[in-house]
Structures are given as structure tokens and as C-alpha cells.
Structure 1
Amino acid sequence: MLDILNEIDSFVWGPPLLVLLVGTGIWLTIRLKLIQIFKLGEALKLIFSAKNDGSGDVNSFKALCTALAATVGTGNIVGVATAVKAGGPGALFWMWIAAFFGMATKYAECLLAVKYRTVDANGNISGGPMYYIENGLGKAYKPLAVLFAVFGVLCAYFGIGTFAQVNSIVEITKISAGIPVVYTGIALTVLVAAVTIGGLRSIANVASKIVPAMAVLYFLTTVGILICFADKVPEAIGMVLQDAFTPTAAQGGFLGATVMLAMRSGVARGVFSNESGLGSAPIVAAAAKTKWAAEQGLVSMTGTFIDTIIICTLTGLALTVTGVWCGPLSGAAMTDAAFKMAFPAWGGMLLMVGLVLFAFTTILGWNYYGERCVEYLMGVKAIMPYRVIFIILIACGPFLKLEEIWVLADIVNGLMAIPNLIALLALSGVVVAETKAYQKHLKEQSK
């Protein structure tokens, strides 16, 4: 089964998809005139100063926190470790490239989500790629929208949303605190059920409290590791830049990696982490209270910056300066070893708290993404059955192997991205027009 999944994964994540992902980001970056550089300051200010005066279910900050809840997860800890293990430190460089262009992609997809959002039969906002494909490109493209929604449900059920997160939680709690897998699985299932049954507002309330706290905790801990190994930081940065373009020499248990493997690992894990181009973040961005689609696009764009440029970089450098990347460990155990090298007494416990919170909030975010996809496919009557199946899958997650989980998650991620990227390229003119209208509005306001 693993061999078959690996073959499918290699095909899905082959050069065509990597070129489509990064190429879409490059195209949007050019058309939007480097918006991720020139408007980043404005975007970061909007996180806290957006007026939230439009129609929507949650404010811009809660929409961002819910999107970050879904993106800041195991991809930042286990995913980075997996990428660096497979492709060497150079994989981190390709994560940066994917994230830089991914910021333009995230801006565009979240802008379109607000522009083409609708209201469901329960009076809740519905939006995301399935709606901007059907309403933006026309009814003839509905099969593409349906395809995205189907892949979205599969991703929530079998990809980022459940197994990868649950597996990481039970592994780290067993390593750090010796808690049996069954107990962790039961506690997690109960907590997820308690929050997700309440829908978006319940998820957003939890996310807006946990996400900022966990991001600050993880930031301070990883910076602490870099301070402990300050003399190795310049060398680590050098390795990241050098290994991105040259094959890595074999070291210890590490068997060496080609440049293509570093590139593929970095881009694939970068996308797994920040989800730019996947079409997931637009689903919650559509629910933001805003009058301007471009405003929420800017707020959402900061998610990729925070997730990959800041958090993944800190994880990658921590793994490199401590040297654990070329040892025999992998996944959460590898990151755990790096934390313990810097803080032997409580490093493992800190990582456990960070990873559990990261993964738990990712489960909540993806529950909502899958729910909106199910609602698009089958209407509001399908929401509760979807939630029940999701909770059952959470309960099953602890007993599945790591390798199969990551490969399966990679496959459904890639499939989800394809319909979304086609729509983003086709609707790039709309994105540019909306951006110009918003910037014109800001200039008139400042007069």
C-alpha cells in the first residue's frame, strides 16, 4: 500500500504541479506588482485595525486566527522536520521561495472568496474556491468546483485535517509525558467534538484565544534554541543557502539528497504548512466581516508570512544548528531532540504543549473547511452527518502509521490545489481590478 501511495504522490507532486503552484504565485506577484513586499506593512496593521463593518460571520482577526489555526500545525514542526530530513537544510530555502510567491496566491484566493461569497440555507456565509469557480468563471465550470469540494472533504477527512494532526499529538504526548495513545485519543476526540459541534463561531472563538498564545510561546522557545547555539547560526544559514543548489553530502544516518529532492520537499512541505494555493484559507476568509474583498486578502496574506517565513524558518534553523537533522530520528522525535539539546529539563514539555495546541487548532480549522465543502455539495442537511464522521475519524487517527498518513495527506493536498490554481489564473484580472479599486478608495479616504 505504501509503495502504491508513494507512486501516486510522486505523480501528483511531480514537476507539473510544482510549476503550476510556484508559477501561479509568480504570475500573481507580477500582476499585483510585488504586493507581498510593498503592502506587507499595511497588511500587518490591518490584522488589528480592520473596521469589520461589512456583512459576515466573524471579524477579520478571528477569520485570520481560524485560518492560522488550520495552517500553523504539524506542518511547522513535523513537516519541517520531514522536509529537512528528506531534502537537507536546503529544503528550507525552497520553503521560503514557495512562501514568498505563496503570499500573492493567498492574497488573490482570499480576495476572490469575499467577492463571490454567498449565504447558505441556515443564514451562514459560504465561500471559497467552489463559489468563485462557479460564480466567477461561470456555470460551465461547475464540474471543476465540485471536484475542488470533493477533494476538500477528502483533505479534511484523510489529509491535513485529521490523521496527520492526531498522529503527531499522540506521538509527542507519548514521547514527552508517557501518556498512553488510547488516553490521548479519547481526550482529543471529546475536545474536538465539544468545539466543532458549535460551528464556525465556536471554532473562531477558541482559535482567536489559542493561536496568538501558542505562536508567541513557540517563537520564544525556538529563538531561545538559536540563542543557545548562536555560534552555529551563521553556518546553519550558509548550509540552507548552499544546500538549496548543491547535493547534500551524506552525514551520519542521512543518505544525502539531490537538489530536486530539496526543492520538492521544501515546496511540498511549505504548501502543506502555509496552504497557499490549496484553496483552504479562502473558505474561512469568505466569512470575514468586511466591505472590501482586497482588505481581507491583505489580512489573509499575513498568514503565509507568519506561518512559513517566521515559524517554519525558526523550526528549520533549530533542527540545523543542533545537528539533529542528520541523525537517525525523524518527525516529531527529531524536533523533540532539538528542543531537549537546548533545554534538557523542560524542552520536551514545551514542544509537547506547542505541538498539541498547534495540531488541535488545525483539526478545528479543517473541520470547518470540510463542512463548507460538504454544504456546497449536498446542502445544510449534510453538515451534522459530516461532523459525526469527522469526529469518528479523529478517534481512529492514533492507530494509523506515520508514513502512510503523510503520503495520503500530500496526495489529497495536491489534488485540491489543481482546480483552485486554474481558477486563480483565469480570474487574475478580477483580482487586479479589485485591488486597484481598493487602493483608489484608500487614497480618497486619506485626502
Structure 2
Amino acid sequence: MEMKIDILSTQPIKPSSPTPNHLRSFKISLLDQLAPPFYVPVILLFSADDFDCEAVDHVTICDLLKRSLSQTLSRFYPLAGKLKGNDSVDCSDDGAVFMEARANVELSEILRDPEIDLLQKLLPCEPYSVGSESSDRAITAIQATIFECGGIGIGVCMSHKVADGATLATFLTAWSATAMGTDDGITPFLDSASLFPPRDINTVLSSGVISHGKTLTRRFLFDAASLARLQSKASNSTRVEAVTSLIWKSAMDVAREKSGKDTISSIVTHVVNLRGKTEPPLSDRSLGNLWQQAVATVTEQEGKVELDDLVGRLRRAIKKVDKEYVKEIQGEEGLSKACGAMKEVQKMIMSKGEMELYRFSSWSRFPFYETDFGFGRPIWVCTITAPIKNVIILMDTKSGGGIEAWVTMVEEDMTKFQRHYELLEFVSSTQSA
């Protein structure tokens, strides 16, 4: 399908109230410093069936979005600034970039065949381009796209140096509540740097992280019924544990067949939210990269492992990221501890050689589907995965009972993975993305 996007306007949206001088330099935390130089992308699609296009024209809708965005940025003021080096944000109210666009297709065409190339056009920028200097780029960029049917797409890109998926969800909750006039004063916690003090470091993206070869992304849907069966088979695990372990096992089977060996070694990393693991617990509305990676492994010497075993390994790895773990990050050796997971992974890969790494991140339970700007809740919320092999992002379905797994692999591996017998036993549908 050919889709053309016409950009009608681009403008900065500044906070409605100027940021006070004493807040103009916003320190980012150690965990922000270690975050990759990407954007965190999300796309929310709203059907015209949920609002009266005749009564509410799109000019009015865009004006509402811009006005409420300006008001929201006055509380989330770092999101309207620009990065300054690798330790702070210049909060001079440069503003968030807001683009108005029009698509020459109907929303139903996107939903019918959601290809990555099409979804990318609904975002205001390329999230994983690291060629330009980060200091020249806005921290927040938004694109509001009007479809021929009257439906609306809102694509948001937020700098990963300032925000994670939870931050993005909190911001959308606050923005939509402001647009609806139901805002209860949602204000983020903006002092993560006091809990995880920044260091004099300058991170560089490791070579080879961005895949230069051909990768494919597929979206695997697990509905509530198939998830219940999977959870029952996988030691009554949580939804995220069950899907992660099934994908891990299927991917290992593909890698084993490819290598021609009876057994192989592999690593899984899984992002763990730290907000509930500090003492006292942080608010869900805390801004920043408040996460660490749990690491679970299977070594060649252990032989072939079953689903139950993988669930156990994953669960034990995640439990290690506890309050004591967080205290160590906050201590004098915090930098070493914060980098420990990836150093461990690199050490294992160097010592083992042929060892596949699978990176998981779960956005399950983030309230994206509750976002309502006054024209209904989203009919679909999605992201696009990084052009990095073996990256998996898990998102809720609209019903909340299912999970969509966005899986990126090299083309050869994906061809075999998407046909894996055990995966197909539980997947409700598979789509290109």
C-alpha cells in the first residue's frame, strides 16, 4: 500500500508558563546518562467512529492538542528543552515540536496491514537515527495525522535520555487529562538525579548495536484465551513471563537448528521498572530512565531446557533487581553496578563466542489505552521496534487481556521463527510490521 503524508505545519509548542530561572538547568540521573541516544516512540490511533467529525473539525482538534500540550509542558518542563552534553537539559523553553499532517489513506488500511514503513510515517522523526548531534534535537516531537476517513493518528517521540516508556505513558495521561479538563494536577517527580547522582561520563553507543543487515519485524498476537493456556502450561506464570519464555524457547530452537548443534548457549535481558523498588517507593509519575536489566542465561552444558525451566530462570533474574540492588546503584559503586548487567552479558558473549542475546522490554500495564483527548480512546496503540536483531517489545492489546509481541530478527531467523510449532500453538495471529 502506498501512503503519502503531507506535512501541513511544523511549530514549537512552548510551556504555557515560562520555566523559572532557577529551574533552567535540569540535571539528568546516572541511569539517564546510560540510556541509549534514541527516541522512545509510540503511536496512538483514534477512529472517527468515536467522535462526530461534522461537529468537531480537525482544526479545532489540533488547536485543542496544542493548547493542552502547552499547559502540560509547564509541569513537564524538561520535555520542552534540549539536551546539554550528557548530564543536563537546558530548559530554556525551546518547546516540543508539533507537526500537523494529512494522510491520503483511511485508518482502516493502516489497521489492516500495519507495516513498519507505514507506521514510521506517522512519527515526527526517525527514532533510531543517531547521526545528528543530540543537542540539536528537540526532546519531544509530536505528529498529529488526519486520515481520509477523519480518523486521527498521534505519533510521539521522546528522547530516551530523559524518558522511558513509563514516563511517556505518564505524560500522555497528563496531556489528555488537561485536554479533557479533568486534570487533577498530574505532576511528575523531577528529582531522579538526587537518587541516582550523575557522573562525569560520556556514553557511546556500542558498535554493532544497530543492525546494518536485513532485519524483519513481526507482530505476534496472544489473545486472552491463548495466554491463559500458555500460563497454565508454563508453571502458572504471569502473562509477561509466559510470553517471554515461549519466545525465548522458540528462538533458541531456531538458533540450535541453524548452528547444527544439539545444544546452544543464550542470554535474555529483561527491563525491570525500579519505581517500586526504591526505599521509599517512587511514584509511577517519576520522570526518567528508572529501570535496569535482569539477565537470565542458558549455557551449552545444560542441554535443552523446557518452558517451565525458562520461566523459573527469568523469574529468579528479575527478583535479583530488588531494593538492595537499587541501594547499590545509589552508593559509591553505583556506576559499576548500573553497568554490571551489560558487562556480564559482554563477558559471557566474549567467552562463549556463539551465544545469542535476546533483549526484552515490556510496556504491559502502561495505561496507553486510557488516553482520551476528548475524541475517544485509541482503537490501537503501537510502537516500532529498533533496527536491532533479537529485540522484543511486549504491549497490551486494547482489551487488556492479551499481549502483542513485536519481534525483530534477521530475515533468515524470522522466516523459521514465525513457523515454530510451539509458538504457533499459542499465537492468535501474526502480522508483518
Shorter-chain TM band: under 0.3
Higher helix proportion, which one? Answer: 1
Bigger radius of gyration, 1 or 2? Answer: 2
The TM-score normalised by the length of structure 2 is 0.27
Higher strand proportion, which one? Answer: 2
The TM-score normalised by the length of structure 1 is 0.26
